[in-house]
Amino acid sequence: MTDPTSPKRGIDLLRDPRLNKGTAFTIEQRRELGIEGLLPDVVSSHDTQLHRAELHLASLATDMERYVYFSDLQERNEDLFYRVLMHDPVKYMPIVYTPTVGAACQQYGRWYRRPKGLWVSRNHRGRIAEVLRNWHVKDVRFVVVTDGERILGLGDQGAQGMGIPIGKLALYTACAGVPPQMALPITLDVGTNNRELLDDPFYIGVRKERLTGEEYDSFLEEFVTAVQEVFPEATIQWEDFANQNAVPLLERYRNRVCSFNDDIQGTAAVGVAGILAALRLKDEQLADQRMLFFGAGSAGIGIADLLTLVMVQDGLTLDEARRRCWLFDSKGLVQSSRTGLGDQKGRYAHDHVEVTDLAEAVRQIKATVIIGTSTIPRSFTRDVVDAMMANTPRPLIFPFSNPTSKAECTAEEAYQWTNGAAIFASGSPFDPVTVNGKRMYASQGNNVLIFPAMGLAVLAARPTHLPDEAFAVSARALAAMATKEDFAIGLIYPPLRTIRETQMHIAATVATWLWDTGLAREERPADIASYVRNLAWRPNV
Ligand code: NAD
């Protein structure tokens, strides 16, 4: 809809992606807004615009080209961008976000056109609030921020990590209606240790090695303080920070400002939801499982921690719950004779002999669930999967590493090697597989099943902070959503084509919990589900 109070008219209006509707402007609007003649005569329907964009996308040769087309469209006509994305999220989310966004970040300096967010650089130290004020919107409610150090499974992409907060916020909007005008993508350009980028003539960031230690911490402190000063209502979502910073940042700020880390807490909720849903399918109890985490970084430990919380909520002691979770890192099984593990890994270091072979670890601890967050491709070998099958008739095999090239195994491998018995979920999408004449689908444990809903819940309830229990609530809500029909074809999550409905339900459930627990600052509405639904932005159709 055109905003009659907007001062923009004429060519300025057409150049504003938030106001531009392209050829969909009616004849009356064109007259009223001073854009007659600036557009060709035709008045396109929304359907024609959508169809044209889809035809164009289909004509392109690669997903990277499609990514760039989407990026241009977002800079040209935001409404149409979201209409296309929401029209077929299954097809377009992997282009706008993972896995294509990984390649987009790697090549950012080669295709970058116009800014869609803020780069807050180490050169802005002492003036960060001033830089934040350069953003054209004052009422920012939601910030997604990365320092580009651990972009998906691709490592340090420095300032080129910007693709991640931009893509992620597009999904917040498309999937849960977080209003795009309230969202701000930020990349903290603290430098990069990626030699290739430092040597790349097209690299767009500060050509210095990363800030570390006290310098890094004080930069982050100034950033958070500046966000609170300039955008006092903003929630901060930490994104793709390296593990050594992600955990301390979350701990330092989680009670000071409403903030969360999707890589840790969102992943945890999706992982836990997958396990709970699969156990519904198997009709088994969580307390009877033995979970092995291959890769003990932010994602793996995040899932283990939330699982522990859920088991404690269900009646186990903390110690009993932790004993059901085992970690396996680059040095082998995490066990109590190992030194220098630190607190995070240390709490899962149980008494056990040294084991350095993954399949052997599966055998010895009798794992029934294996989750890969290692970024080591094809590490769930046939031997590993056979060992899982020897422990349980229907093992849970979750290769969560992204992008597709880093997955610990493929859907084809997991299903073929287990004759269709595996309950499979991966981080990146895989095509369906036919096993014994039956078509089995690959569940995608994509964080998009959780984080957009958290964004909407936070906007609705305006909590003081967002504790881990809120993520347990979201995990249980998601786990309850897969239907018998989904289970029959291998799916443990509701399908992505219904993502908007899934997110509305989870957002309302979490928001209700935030009101019930007294964390919400917003006044409680009579009907939370309708309130949340009405808050959700959608393109004008
Ligand atoms: P991270 O860097 O914090 O952790 C990676 C861990 O893998 C590190 O602890 C590292 O020591 C370990 N590792 C490296 N080599 C290993 C080896 N040879 N054997 C065992 N472990 C090894 O990163 P993260 O945030 O935990 O993410 C890890 C992966 O999980 C990434 O690919 C990421 O894209 C993926 N991920 C997926 C989802 C999802 O699917 N929903 C969510 C978050 C992260």
Residue 209 sits in a domain of what CATH number?
A: 3.40.50.10380
* Percent of the chain scoring above 70 in pLDDT: 99
CB 415 within 8 A of CB 424: yes
Assess if residue 16 is contained within a domain: yes
538 CA distance to ligand 1 centroid (A)? Answer: 34
471-513 confidence digits (pLDDT tens) = 999 999 999 999 999 999 999 999 988 999 999 999 999 999 9
Assess if residue 102 is contained within a domain: no
* pLDDT interval class at 421 (50, 70, 90): very high
Ligand 1, pocket residues at CB < 6 Å:
150, 152-153, 243, 263, 267, 270, 294-300, 329-330, 373-376, 400-402, 406, 427, 445-447
181-207 confidence digits (pLDDT tens) = 999 999 999 999 999 999 999 999 999
400 CA distance to ligand 1 centroid (A)? Answer: 8
Examine the domain organization and report whether 205 and 345 are in the same domain: no
Cα distances from 456 to residues 4, 198, 452, 508, in angstroms, run 27, 38, 6, 9
Domain count along the chain: 4
Assess if residue 104 is contained within a domain: no
237 CA distance to ligand 1 centroid (A)? Answer: 19
pLDDT for the residue 113: 86
Residue 47 sits in a domain of what CATH number?
A: 1.20.1370.30
**Residue numbers of the domain that contains 15:** 10-96
Instruction: Give me Rg for the CA atoms of the chain.
Output: 23
Examine the domain organization and report whether 121 and 205 are in the same domain: yes
Examine the domain organization and report whether 377 and 439 are in the same domain: yes
Assess if residue 300 is contained within a domain: yes
Examine the domain organization and report whether 248 and 119 are in the same domain: yes
Assess if residue 529 is contained within a domain: no
pLDDT at 2 over 60: no
Assess if residue 385 is contained within a domain: yes
Examine the domain organization and report whether 214 and 355 are in the same domain: no
| Three-state secondary structure string covering 223-243 | HHHHHHHHCCCCEEEECCCCH
Assess if residue 474 is contained within a domain: yes
The dihedral sign for the CA sequence 312, 318, 324, 330? positive
Closest residue by CA, ligand 1 atom 40: 427
Examine the domain organization and report whether 18 and 61 are in the same domain: yes
Closest residue by CA, ligand 1 atom 35: 401
Query: What is the average pLDDT across 324-346?
Result: 96
pLDDT for the residue 3: 55
> How many CA within 13 A on the CB side of residue 211?
18
16-50 confidence digits (pLDDT tens) = 999 999 999 999 999 999 999 999 999 999 999 99
Examine the domain organization and report whether 65 and 177 are in the same domain: no
Rounded to two decimals, the pTM is 0.93
Examine the domain organization and report whether 286 and 249 are in the same domain: no
- Residue ending a domain, choose from 427, 446, 465: 446
Tell me what the pLDDT averaged over the chain comes to: 96
> How many CA within 13 A on the CB side of residue 459?
30
pLDDT at 99 over 90: no
Q: Counting atoms of ligand 1 from 1, which one is nearest the CA of 372?
A: 30
* pLDDT interval class at 5 (50, 70, 90): low
- Residue ending a domain, choose from 409, 424, 446: 446
367-397 confidence digits (pLDDT tens) = 999 999 999 999 999 999 999 999 999 999 9
pLDDT for the residue 4: 54
pLDDT at 541 over 80: no
- Residue ending a domain, choose from 30, 62, 96: 96
**Annotated catalytic sites, by residue?**
97, 168
- Tokens representing residue 131 in the block: 């830089």
* pLDDT interval class at 6 (50, 70, 90): low
Residue 321 sits in a domain of what CATH number?
A: 3.40.50.720
CB 110 within 8 A of CB 160: no
* pLDDT interval class at 80 (50, 70, 90): very high
Examine the domain organization and report whether 277 and 385 are in the same domain: yes
pLDDT for the residue 429: 85
Examine the domain organization and report whether 311 and 404 are in the same domain: yes
pLDDT for the residue 540: 82
358 CA distance to ligand 1 centroid (A)? Answer: 15
Examine the domain organization and report whether 407 and 283 are in the same domain: yes
Assess if residue 322 is contained within a domain: yes
Examine the domain organization and report whether 317 and 375 are in the same domain: yes
